[in-house]
Structure 1
Amino acid sequence: MNNSNEAREPKRCAGPDRHTRPPRFQMPVGACDCHAHIFGPQAQFPYSPQRSYTPEDCTVDDYIKLLATLGIDRAVIVHGGAHGTDNAATLNALERMGPRARGVAVMPPGCPLPERERMHALGMRGYRLSTVVGGGVGFDQLEALADEAQQLGWHLVLHFKHADELVSLLPRLQALRVDIVLDHMARIRGDEGVDSPAFEALASLMDAGRAWVKLASLYRLSSQPYPHADMLPMIHRVAKHWPDRIIWGSNWPHPICDVSMPNDGDLVDLIPLWVPDVAVQQKLLVDNPAALYGF
């Protein structure tokens, strides 16, 4: 019986490296971290009983301090799976951070329009669907959420567990009439690369003009240590061919991190390696987030 109970206990996550190294790379004015989560404090915003992991409290105050250290002006709070479909912690973060912040919700279809309009006024701009975390919303709700997203000009964020899910989902995605964001570069691993069926599916969506690639959490997809050189061919390909459709995110506080916990200063210093062209850096960090999230 004890072993059974332990098996059902959500996995406890290591917290982030709280000694953030100031990066050498200087962010441009208006730069945006397009992927971060706020967790807790649990005393105010309890975690979902259906969650698949238990993170440390990683609060709005913690995150604002991180942004200051990294030199980042704007942020997108992606609702974290530990809170399930109760978006209160993320909405509170948006209210606290004001016009510099936007959000992505995790919620099933059916929320009344006035409530969604209230969320929009606070900065919500999309829905996230995931096959990675428990207690959230899966791709069975794809079309229904796309219909609701279209009403307010929102987009869909797709969080895959495996890159081959993108290939299977491709016909349904091609039929949508809303923008989609491929979280973590659609989870395509460095050892799969630009010749993989998943990258071909990504390219077809990008060519159609409704998809965006999020360069975040790529340290999980590499088979090599920092600076994760095996990811560069894919990163350079998307930056060259679709510079107006790429965005960057820290993935702070790095929940469910199954590799060495990164320091966020080190992640920022990868940006000029990924995108050496200063004009494309401006698109990646400032112009593209402003267009997608309405800054």
Structure 2
Amino acid sequence: MATLNPPHDFPLDRTVPGPRPEASSPTAFTAPPRACDAHCHVFGPAERFPFSPARTYTPPDSGVDDFFRVQDRLGLSRAVFVQASCHGSDNSAMVDAIQRGEGRFAGVAMIDQSFTDADLDELHANQVRGIRFNFVAHLGGAPDLDVFWELVHRVAKRHWHIVLHFDAKDFGEYAAVLDAMPVPYVIDHMARVPATDGVEQAPFQRLLERITSDERCWVKISCAERLTDGKVSPFDDVVPFARALIEAAPDRVLWGTDWPHPNLEAMPDEGELLDLVAAYAPDEAVRNRILVNNPQDLYTFS
């Protein structure tokens, strides 16, 4: 499968912490059958799946066997692995994790212009249903938009969707890009809006207007640990944001742990993150839509 990553040489870059050794069991509710963690990653193991020499951070190994233990503790059965920038455009670790799931997992890849149609066909056969672009500053900033559109239109032919990772302050600058999107698109982590600025802040109001008015727009109500004041629990200040998005478009909201939480200093407890979904969606039917029906609609798990 195509990749631009040369052999791994462990450059001197920033090393980030790994997740907690063990998640707690959720207590607020029991996850329904086929509940999905719709945003998580696998890192390495580096001996088998080297990290990209162009990466901006180096995580410790957090492979699919570690992820299985987290899923078992949380009572979840499905997952969407999202390719992270530390592996660059080499999606091998993600594809291996999907294959290990035997139909329970799907993926969102990162690709570049070197990918052939055969490469994309192989990804599709391995339950990849989207590609991701990072626009956030700490991961290298916005992509070249000419290349961006070339890749978007290539995967649109396969009816994939586009996952977009923005900094809140930049979200409003890309309205024209979103308006021109030919396929569904997913905004990661509630556009990374800081909870301390309140739901009336301009970036969140733009996001709320977007999901309300554009049926192509999906949003992940993930990463409370990145949005909350102080970056540690409790996450009460994030609840109004998630509730507003759910109220606006309950059939286009996804939830995920973001395990193993790259680029965080204080690691959250995944059981606590799942419990938070009960605060986001007190109604069981709505909660089940977010955890089961919505990811099934977007990823068509086999």
Q: 1:210 to 1:139 in 2, by over 3 A?
A: farther
Quote the Cα distance in structure 2 between the aligned partners of 1:69 and 1:275: 21
1:63 corresponding residue in structure 2: 67
> Where in structure 2 are there 5+ consecutive unaligned residues?
1-10
The yes-or-no answer on 1:281 pairing with 2:293 is no
The yes-or-no answer on 1:204 pairing with 2:209 is yes
Quote the Cα distance in structure 2 between the aligned partners of 1:196 and 1:159: 19
Quote the Cα distance in structure 2 between the aligned partners of 1:87 and 1:68: 24
Aligned-pair CA distance for 1:191? 2.1
8 Å CA contact 1:149–1:178 kept in 2: the answer is: no
Aligned-pair CA distance for 1:188? 1.0
2:7 corresponding residue in structure 1: none
1:228 to 235, 240, 245: 235
1:22 to 12, 20, 25: 25
1:144 to 142, 150, 157: 150
2:79 to 63, 69, 75: 75
Aligned-pair CA distance for 1:155? 0.7
One-letter identity of the residue aligned with 1:241: A
Alignment of 1:20-99 (within 5 A): 20-24=23-27, 25-99=29-103
2:262 corresponding residue in structure 1: 255
Aligned-pair CA distance for 1:214? 0.3
1:294 corresponding residue in structure 2: 300
How many pairs does the alignment contain?
Answer: 286
One-letter identity of the residue aligned with 2:298: L
> Where in structure 1 are there 5+ consecutive unaligned residues?
1-7
One-letter identity of the residue aligned with 1:236: R
1:167 corresponding residue in structure 2: 172
Quote the Cα distance in structure 2 between the aligned partners of 1:41 and 1:283: 34
Quote the Cα distance in structure 1 between the aligned partners of 2:283 and 2:79: 23
2:16 to 3, 8, 13: 13
Deviation per residue, 1:61-81 (Å, 9 max, x gap): 111111111100100000121
8 Å CA contact 1:104–1:124 kept in 2: the answer is: yes
Aligned-pair CA distance for 1:227? 2.5
The yes-or-no answer on 1:158 pairing with 2:164 is yes
SS at match of 1:53: coil
CA RMSD in angstroms comes to 1.7
8 Å CA contact 1:205–1:211 kept in 2: the answer is: yes
The yes-or-no answer on 1:195 pairing with 2:196 is no
8 Å CA contact 2:218–2:254 kept in 1: the answer is: yes
Aligned-pair CA distance for 1:84? 1.1
SS at match of 2:196: coil
One-letter identity of the residue aligned with 2:71: L
1:112 corresponding residue in structure 2: 116
Quote the Cα distance in structure 1 between the aligned partners of 2:221 and 2:151: 24
Aligned-pair CA distance for 1:271? 1.0
1:4 corresponding residue in structure 2: none
Quote the Cα distance in structure 1 between the aligned partners of 2:142 and 2:21: 30
SS at match of 2:79: strand
One-letter identity of the residue aligned with 2:229: S
SS at match of 1:69: helix
Quote the Cα distance in structure 1 between the aligned partners of 2:249 and 2:221: 13
Aligned-pair CA distance for 1:110? 4.9
Aligned-pair CA distance for 1:9? 2.8
2:133 corresponding residue in structure 1: 129
User: Could you tell me the TM-score, scaled by structure 2's length?
Assistant: 0.90
One-letter identity of the residue aligned with 2:191: A
Quote the Cα distance in structure 2 between the aligned partners of 1:90 and 1:271: 26
Moved more, 164-173 or 125-134: 125-134
Moved more, 199-208 or 9-18: 199-208
Quote the Cα distance in structure 1 between the aligned partners of 2:140 and 2:175: 24
Moved more, 198-207 or 47-56: 198-207
